[in-house]
Chain A
Amino acid sequence: MTADERRTGPPTGHSDLDTLADLHAGVLEGRSAERVREHVDGCPQCAATLEALDAVQGQLHSLPAPAMPAAVAARLDAALADLRTDRPARTGATAADPEDELARARLRRGRRLSRAVVAAAAAVVVIAAGGAIASVVGGGGTSETTSGAGGQAAGAPAPPQSAVPGAKSAEGGSLANDSARPAVPDYDRASLRAALPTIAAQGAVPQATSVESPTVRAACATSIPGAQGALRAAQRIRYEGRPAYVFVYADGDRLTGFVVTETCGSAPGRPATVLDTVS
């Protein structure tokens, strides 16, 4: 036993730190583990080393989780929202119904407009967060240039923390800017029912950044009583003339649209007020 130690350990006769750390981490097995353990049992110095390794683990374990900076969160949200809006719709794309075809054509038009809105909205969020490139968007420009500005900003160093509340207010304030936005489709019960498959196929049409915010959307979606299945789309609409959101759920083949008041998007945590359920 002593001879073994002399072979594996430093001249002091103790196991070296790496060997003890291996024992501690369960790297050693069988005979070699036994041999080191036997030594440790009779050696206060090596036992203290194992305790020190325990202490290290304890310190590591109690490190607090760093909070994700709001600017990083906003950037991630924007990146994922971009992916979502670029994604080809998978539902309804094969339907050949002429009425659908018409509706799709209408929606394609709407979609192009709304793409520009997404880009602008994303840029607004980035500007609010970053502040530095406000002049780029101030110049207006096409959707390409604005989204380019957004992309550039995303690659830039994290903006100062102080700018963060701005990002929030840009998000929450979107409802107030409505008049500047392209027309939101107006539905009544029958036309909404007819449009459900196309809305579902379209997924998110970010006519309002409030619905675009995953946090707000989740708060709203989960507060809809009776919603079942998979959330397929959330869109800003007008319903019988009043501003609203429609959340489309798919439960098997059955699509259900929940029309909720616009406050759903601006007051996370408040239960959604369902104006109508269409399926």
Chain B
Amino acid sequence: MTAAERSDADLLRAHAAGDAFAFEELVRRHRDRLWAVALRTTRDRDEAADALQDALISAYKAAGSFRGDSAVTTWLHRIVVNACLDRMRRRQTRATVQLPEEGPHEPADSRDRVAERDTRMVVEEALGQLPAEQRAAIVLVDVEGWSVAETAVMLGVPEGTVKSRCARGRARLAVLLGHLRNPDEPAPVAPRSSGGPGTGPSSREEAR
């Protein structure tokens, strides 16, 4: 009904047709997610900000060439992820880890809260140890929840490549996060301590 309810595709078309504000509205809708992807891909706030800005400027100029065979969000993500990976390739920057924690100030409260935050930091740091392209696939599929097909378009690779990057990345993370032992280490001997009476079959424990 009003201008605010236009779809993403409407906004992009309107932008290409000369609407002065459509692009900014489009960006406003998606920039938080784009930021999250840029930050997690580059692992560096300044790099992420530069990449996002470069990407949005290219998107602004390239809007006329958007053919609509993917969703506008997919197209935007593709441009942003490419800008991030390009920058990282060019600069070969080794990530300084400085992720989230600047969100709303959580009071220094319950132990659970602290533990939860610590766990997140551990996961973020583990993510940072993956190679950039593996990490981008994991961020898009597992963190952001895009489908393999959408991610393949965003990364400009076949779906099979997305799947195997995800497979490699998850395997590595499972070890880094302590779910699995390093496969290069010698086989285990001691089983984990018992999960308590009435829990799963003993075979679970033997498995470790």
Which A residues contact B (CB, under 8 angstroms)? 10, 12, 16-18, 20-22, 24-27, 44-45, 47-49, 52-53, 55-57, 59-61, 63-69, 72-73, 75-77, 79-81, 83-84, 87, 89-91, 154-155, 157-158, 161, 203-204, 214-215, 217-218, 221-222, 224, 227-234, 249
The verdict on B113 contacting chain A, using a C-beta distance below 8 Å, is: no
Per the bound structure, the CA–CA distance linking A45 and B21 in Å amounts to 57
Q: How far is the CB of B8 from chain A (nearest CB, A)?
A: 15
Total A-B pairs in contact (CB under 8 Å)?
190
The answer to whether B49 and A158 have CB atoms under 8 Å apart is: yes
B139-180, CB under 8 A of A: which get 1 and which 0? 000110100100000000000100110111011011101011
Per the bound structure, the CA–CA distance linking A10 and B187 in Å amounts to 11
Per the bound structure, the CA–CA distance linking A52 and B174 in Å amounts to 6
| A and B contact pairs by CB, cutoff 8 A, 21 listed | A21-B168, A22-B163, A25-B163, A25-B164, A47-B207, A48-B204, A53-B170, A56-B170, A57-B142, A59-B177, A61-B142, A64-B100, A64-B120, A66-B36, A76-B53, A83-B60, A203-B20, A214-B27, A215-B28, A229-B3, A230-B17
Cβ-closest chain B residue relative to A227? B2
Which of these, B22, B31, B45, B204, contacts A73 with CB under 8 Å? B31
B66-82, CB under 8 A of A: which get 1 and which 0? 00000000000000000
Q: How far is the CB of A215 from chain B (nearest CB, A)?
A: 7
Cβ-closest chain A residue relative to B49? A72
Per the bound structure, the CA–CA distance linking A223 and B179 in Å amounts to 52
> Can you list the 8 inter-chain pairs with the closest CB atoms, starting with the nearest?
A203-B20, A52-B179, A25-B167, A44-B207, A90-B18, A60-B142, A21-B171, A21-B167
User: Which among B2, B104, B174, B187 has the highest number of chain A CB atoms within 10 Å?
Assistant: B174
Interface size classification for chain B = 35 or more
Q: How far is the CB of A125 from chain B (nearest CB, A)?
A: 15
**CB contact under 8 A between A79 and B57, given known A61-B142, A61-B143, A214-B25:** yes
Q: How far is the CB of A279 from chain B (nearest CB, A)?
A: 16
Per the bound structure, the CA–CA distance linking A22 and B168 in Å amounts to 8
Residues of B106-144 contacting chain A, CB below 8 A:
119-120, 123-124, 127, 138, 142-143
What chain A residues lie within 8 Å of B17 (beta carbons)? 90, 230
User: Which among B20, B39, B203 has the highest number of chain A CB atoms within 10 Å?
Assistant: B20
What chain A residues lie within 8 Å of B1 (beta carbons)? 228
Which of these, B28, B166, B171, contacts A214 with CB under 8 Å? B28
**Interface SS of chain A:** helix
The answer to whether B180 and A25 have CB atoms under 8 Å apart is: no
The verdict on B99 contacting chain A, using a C-beta distance below 8 Å, is: yes
Which B residues contact A (CB, under 8 angstroms)? 1-4, 14, 17-25, 27-28, 31-33, 35-36, 39-40, 45-46, 48-50, 52-53, 56-57, 60, 99-100, 102-104, 119-120, 123-124, 127, 138, 142-143, 145, 148, 160, 163-164, 166-168, 170-171, 173-175, 177, 179-180, 183, 187, 203-204, 206-208
Cβ-closest chain B residue relative to A79? B53
Cβ-closest chain B residue relative to A155? B50
What chain A residues lie within 8 Å of B127 (beta carbons)? 60
**CB contact under 8 A between A221 and B4, given known A76-B56, A158-B46, A214-B25:** yes
The answer to whether A65 and B167 have CB atoms under 8 Å apart is: no
Cβ-closest chain B residue relative to A10? B183
The answer to whether A76 and B100 have CB atoms under 8 Å apart is: no
Q: How far is the CB of B35 from chain A (nearest CB, A)?
A: 4
A66-B100, A203-B20, A231-B22 given; 8 more Cβ-contact pairs under 8 Å: A48-B208, A52-B180, A56-B179, A57-B170, A75-B53, A80-B56, A89-B18, A203-B18
Q: How far is the CB of B98 from chain A (nearest CB, A)?
A: 10
The answer to whether B3 and A227 have CB atoms under 8 Å apart is: yes
Cβ-closest chain A residue relative to B181? A17
